[in-house]
Amino acid sequence: MAHRFRLEFLLRLYGALERREELNLASVGRELAQARQQLEAHARWCRELREHMSTSLAAGLPGAELQFQLLVCRSADAGRGKRQLAVDEVMVRHQAQRERLLAARRRRESLELLRRKEGDAARLEDGRREQALLDELFLMRRQRDHE
């Protein structure tokens, strides 16, 4: 007799929830990659700005221009800090989402283990019932043969 797991609907639900958490993790992962790319692009821009400022200083930059470039550098440093904070925030969200995915996976796997154990127990019980029937048939045949 085929065994039907009583909580099959719950197992399907847990599987769907796990898939949703995987998709959410992928989404946050894309956000993290984008934030890191923006931080790297900003770092490249800052390096280029500092190199330009360095060459301008060597070429004899006027005072007003020098002050403007220093202001731009300070602004760039502040922008880097904001971008780093954004990366850090997305990393925290990524870690939290990863933990939610792992929790969903553990729930599903524990229910699958329960299903497997229940199925094993059902197969064992079916085997015992079948053996009991065979034993009963054997005894009936033996009793008939001795009559």
Evaluate whether residue 125 is within a structural domain: no
CA 69/CA 75 separation, integer angstroms: 10
Evaluate whether residue 140 is within a structural domain: no
Q: pLDDT tier at 89 (50, 70, 90 boundaries)? A: very high
Please report the pLDDT score of residue 85 as a whole number.
Answer: 92
- Domain of 23 in residue numbering reads as 8-116
Count of the separate structural domains present in the chain: 1
| 99-127 confidence digits (pLDDT tens) | 999 999 999 999 999 989 988 888 999 99
Locate 90 and state its tokens.
């997305």
Evaluate whether residue 102 is within a structural domain: yes
For the segment 72-101, the average pLDDT, to the nearest whole number, is 90
Residue 18 CB neighbour total at 10 angstroms: 20
Evaluate whether residue 1 is within a structural domain: no
Q: pTM value?
A: 0.71
Evaluate whether residue 41 is within a structural domain: yes
Q: Whole-number mean pLDDT of the chain?
A: 88
Evaluate whether residue 142 is within a structural domain: no
Evaluate whether residue 53 is within a structural domain: yes
